[in-house]
Amino acid sequence: MNIEEYKGVWVFIEQRDGEIFDVGLELLGAGRDLADKLEVELCGVLLGDGIKDKAEELYQYGADTVYVIDNPVLKHYRSETYMKAVGDLVRKYKPEIFVYGATANGKDLASAVATEVMTGLTADTTMLDIDLEKRMFEASRPAFGGNIMATILCKKHRPQMATVRPKVMQKPEPDPSRKGKVIEEKFDMKEEDLRTKVVEIVKAAKKGANLEEAEIIVAGGKGIKDEKGFKMVKDLADAMNATVAASRDVVEAGIIGHEYQVGQTGLTVTPKIYVAIGISGAVQHVVGMQNSELIIAINNDPDATIFNAAHYGIVGDAFEIVPMLTEEFKNALAEEQGKGVTTNA
Amino acid sequence: MNILVCIKQVPDTKIIKVNPKTNTLDRSSAPAILNPYDAHAVEEAVRLKKEHGGKVMVLSMGPPQAANAIRKCVEIGADEGFLISDRKFAGADTLATSYALFKAIEKLEKEQGIDLVLCGKHAIDGDTGQVGPGIARRMGMPPLTNVINVRNVDEKNKKIQVDRKIEDGHEIIESDLPCLLTVEKEINQVAYSPFPNMMRAARYKPTVWTVDDLDDVDIKQLGLKGSPTIVGRMWPPDKSSGAEIVEGSTEEKVKRVVSVLMEKPELFASKGGEK
Ligand SMILES: Cc1cc2nc3c(=O)[nH]c(=O)nc-3n(C[C@H](O)[C@H](O)[C@H](O)COP(=O)(O)OP(=O)(O)OC[C@H]3O[C@@H](n4cnc5c(N)ncnc54)[C@H](O)[C@@H]3O)c2cc1C
Ligand SMILES: Cc1cc2nc3c(=O)[nH]c(=O)nc-3n(C[C@H](O)[C@H](O)[C@H](O)COP(=O)(O)OP(=O)(O)OC[C@H]3O[C@@H](n4cnc5c(N)ncnc54)[C@H](O)[C@@H]3O)c2cc1C
């Protein structure tokens, strides 16, 4: 393998029913930085049925070139077809770096493509960088249940591939004036030759939580003790027009459903404000919220590790602080909105 | 229906400690267990066997102690266990791991026939979820990942229908057999092992193979040598600069935080139905 032949940074763009997943756009943002450092093109890889027009959107998010394969057999994701189509593209155009969203299908595809073209794949990364001197891709990921971070390198094989967790990279602002080009490829697998069929796609009824979209989250941990304590968390959340969330211990105590759990085995959230009440700051929790814009922690233990992840910390008893904070906040907000002071103490 | 389950012995990451000086894992701090997802895979295989007959084989790559994880599978109800164990396998990344397992599966397939391969969704230590799809690609089988339910197995027409978990719901997939599934924990509950299984497991010795027992192995694709990825640096997760701890009386602390929050009052404007 002559690794010099491999050029360009590629991003797999996952879509369903023609709707592009955010993670693809987030990766165009991250990929742009990598491509600029290496002084190469940033390319999107877009597969589907009737999706060619979507290329326009990808330019706006930073793609220079979009490889498109538009074919009815690619309408829904299937390993069988996507692996072949993407594998062919890689063999033909030889990218240097290729990243995929670490979604169910993204991981499935990347693993199959890595085997197909015999290269290395780093899983579930949260940090991407380039060692310019060695022109090497440095993909880092949490491992061993989040207890450690590891940088994985792929020295002698190309492309250097990684899956990247959704919501970790920032989605760039679209630039409507950016233009690019499409390279369209043919694909000749036939439906009747395939061994798998998508019978039906069932969308889960949206559960109330929708944490991943929330702009403000107030989360409670074991420190709030029980349902009564959690009521106090809810009151603050209501005052702030926020969504509630919880650590795993609170979910396991049955105080709130799993769809509200933040962390490694829950959701990754990136709100503008995250208030952590009585949460110790275990890595498994922190990986799920550390990229929030503003983190405020309330804990009675001055050495709680949550204070390492937070921007502002209050050391003290949540049962004293939180109700006071709720009232104080309501007053300040009412004042701000010029409605005069309304309290319902 | 012959079912093969790939299983891995892993350190229990719930209790593993990191040596703060060397940033390496203190493996002796954590007991070795059967990867929890693989226990669900074995359970599912046993369930399918009860319905459709045949046998359940388990296969692991690892050091000799991995035989303990195989015994655990026998407790759950596996019929036969195979361990591939050789220094030449050591240091494998997922590409080299799937190659070694593939070579062993190929041998089993030739000798006894395999209709279905099961893997866990991921192993809790390496945590990549890449080995299953890698094996499927090498076996030329369709991989169906993140399976939460096996709906139906049609032995006559050699078809299987499963539910796969995807981001905002699930999809129902039909595939030809043989194929490979990776399973989520939701697929079943691992039942308590019946006493006769425990008795059998205690005495059970898996078949152990070295590289030489496998056919046409390309040594260059095994272990560290056959691994395109290497682990570079390891470090404990980011300890960021830390919070500004607000000082003063409780009231002063609260006031300070409210003033920080009120820097962006527009955030709190009620947007009906947002919650
Ligand atoms: C594989 C794995 C996956 C995991 N996944 C997740 C996950 O997704 N999400 C998650 O959250 N956890 C997860 N965990 C669990 C995680 O390790 C922690 O156990 C958990 O986050 C702790 O929850 P906590 O902070 O609420 O409770 P604790 O660690 O018990 O912390 C309670 C905190 O409250 C403080 N406190 C007590 N009383 C008061 C008071 N009156 N006022 C103010 N503060 C008070 C205490 O000082 C303490 O810091 C996972 C663990 C493993 C091993
Ligand atoms: C810190 C760290 C980070 C790593 N990161 C990467 C990485 O990003 N990319 C990479 O390619 N490798 C990586 N590795 C190497 C990887 O952990 C090993 O290759 C490992 O042998 C298999 O990967 P896994 O544990 O992730 O298995 P997974 O792919 O998560 O396992 C899925 C399923 O495959 C089956 N399976 C996996 N291993 C075996 C086995 N030995 N025997 C039988 N069945 C098995 C089981 O059914 C299991 O449930 C990393 C290793 C370390 C220590």
Please give the distance, rounded to the nearest whole angstrom, from the Cα atom of residue B175 to the centre of ligand 2.
25
pLDDT per position as a tens digit, B233-273: 888 766 556 788 999 999 999 999 999 999 888 888 754 43
pLDDT at A73 over 80: yes
Query: In this predicted structure, what is the pLDDT of residue B263?
Result: 87
Report chain A residues whose CB lies below 8 A from the CB of B243: 295, 297, 307-313
CA distances from B159 to A164, A281, B40, B156 (A): 33, 47, 22, 8
- Nearest by CB to B142, from A79, A157, A308: name it: A79
Provide the pLDDT for residue B273: 37
In the prediction, which pLDDT does B270 show?
Answer: 58
Q: Is the pLDDT of residue A5 over 50?
A: yes
State residue B20's pLDDT score: 65
Nearest beta carbon to residue A204 from set B169, B260, B267:
B169
Q: What's residue B274's pLDDT?
A: 37
Record: contact A103-B271, CB cut-off 8 A: no
Map out the domains of chain B as residue ranges: 3-221
Q: What percent of chain A has pLDDT over 70?
A: 96
B255 closest CB neighbour out of A142, A309, A328: A328
Pairing of strands B159-166, B143-154: antiparallel
More reliable by pLDDT, B216 or B272: B216
User: Cβ(A47)–Cβ(A72) under 8 Å?
Assistant: no
A310 Cβ neighbours under 8 A, 6+ residues apart: A276, A295, A296, A297, B242, B243
The Å distance, Cα A169 to ligand 1 centre, comes to 25
Q: Candidates 3.40.50.620, 3.80.30.20, 3.10.20.90, 3.40.50.20; correct CATH number of A3-193? A: 3.40.50.620
Does the pLDDT value for residue A340 go beyond 50? no
Chain A residues in contact with B250 (beta carbon < 8 A): 316, 320-321, 324
Which residues lie across from B165 on neighbouring strands? B170
* Class of B3-221 in CATH: alpha beta
Number of residues that this document lists for chain A? 345
Give dist(CA A184, CA A127) in Å, integer: 31
Give the pLDDT confidence of A103-155 residue by residue, as tens digits: 999 999 999 999 999 999 999 999 999 999 999 999 999 877 677 889 999 99
- Cβ pair B268:A240 closer than 8 A: yes
Atom in ligand 2 nearest the alpha carbon of residue B5 = 47
Residues in chain B: 275
- How is chain A split into domains, by residue range? 3-193, 211-336
CB contacts, 8 Å: B128 with chain A: 111, 121, 123-124
The predicted pLDDT at position B275 comes to 33
- Per mean pLDDT, which range of A308-322, B185-199, B233-247 is the poorest? B233-247
> What distance in Å separates the CA atoms of residue A98 and residue A111, rounded to the nearest whole number?
12
**A106 close to A12: Cβ distance less than 8 angstroms:** yes
Q: What's the whole-number mean pLDDT along residues A217-242?
A: 95
Is A285 annotated as belonging to a binding site?
yes
Report pLDDT digits (tens) over B151-181. Answer: 999 999 999 999 999 887 899 999 999 999 9
CA of A248 to the centre of ligand 1 (A): 7
Whether the per-residue pLDDT at B14 is higher than 80: the answer is no
| C-alpha distances in Å from residue B180, one per residue of A56, A91, B71, B154, B157 | 37, 25, 23, 15, 17
Question: What is the pLDDT at residue B67?
Answer: 98
Residues having CB closer than 6 A to ligand 1 are A 145, 221-223, 247-250, 261-266, 278-280, 282, 284-285, 288, 298-301, 304, 317-319; B 13-14
Q: Are the beta carbons of B173 and A196 separated by less than 8 Å?
A: yes
Contact, A274 vs A264, CB < 8 A? no
- What atom in ligand 1 is closest to the CA of residue A306? 49
Query: Given 3.40.50.1220, 2.40.40.20, 3.90.25.10, 1.10.3720.10, which CATH number is that of A211-336?
Result: 3.40.50.1220
Taking residues A209-230, report their average pLDDT. Answer: 91
What is the distance between the alpha carbons of residues A53 and B91, in angstroms, rounded to a whole number? 45
Q: In the prediction, which pLDDT does A312 show?
A: 94
**Amino acid A210: pLDDT:** 78
Q: Which ligand is nearest to the CA of B122?
A: 2
- How many interface pairs between A and B have CB atoms less than 8 angstroms apart? 266
Q: Please indicate whether, in this complex, the C-beta atoms of B142 and A195 are within 8 angstroms of each other.
A: yes
Position A345 confidence tier, pLDDT thresholds 50, 70, 90: very low
Tokens 């670490």 -> residue: A102
Reply yes or no on whether the pLDDT at A341 is more than 50. Answer: no
Q: Calculate how far, in angstroms, residue A222's C-alpha sits from the geometric centre of ligand 1.
A: 6
Give the pLDDT of residue A206.
Answer: 54
A329·B258 Cβ contact <8 A: yes
CA distances from residue A126 to A145, A229, A261, B18 in whole angstroms, order as listed: 14, 34, 20, 20
Residue B106 has pLDDT above 90, yes or no: yes
Chain B CA closest to residue A295: B243
Counting residues of chain A whose pLDDT is more than 90, the rounded percentage is 80
Q: Is the pLDDT of residue B148 over 90?
A: yes
What was the pLDDT predicted at A144?
74
- In this structure, the residue with its CA closest to atom 29 of ligand 1 is A280
Collapsing DSSP to helix, strand or coil, A119 comes out as coil
Average pLDDT of the residues in A253-269: 90
User: What's the pLDDT score for residue B24?
Assistant: 67
- CB A148 within 8 Å of CB B18: yes
What's chain B's average pLDDT? Answer: 91
pLDDT tens for residues A22-68? Answer: 999 999 999 999 999 999 999 999 999 999 999 999 999 999 999 99
Same fold, A3-193 and A211-336: yes
A3 contacts chain B (CB < 8 A): no
pLDDT at position B271 is 45
CA B228 vs. chain centroid, Å, equals 21
Of B93, B165, B236, the CB nearest to A104: B165
Round the average pLDDT of chain A to a whole number and report it: 92
CA–centroid distance, B98 to ligand 2, in Å, is 9
Name the residue in chain B with its Cα closest to that of A267.
B167
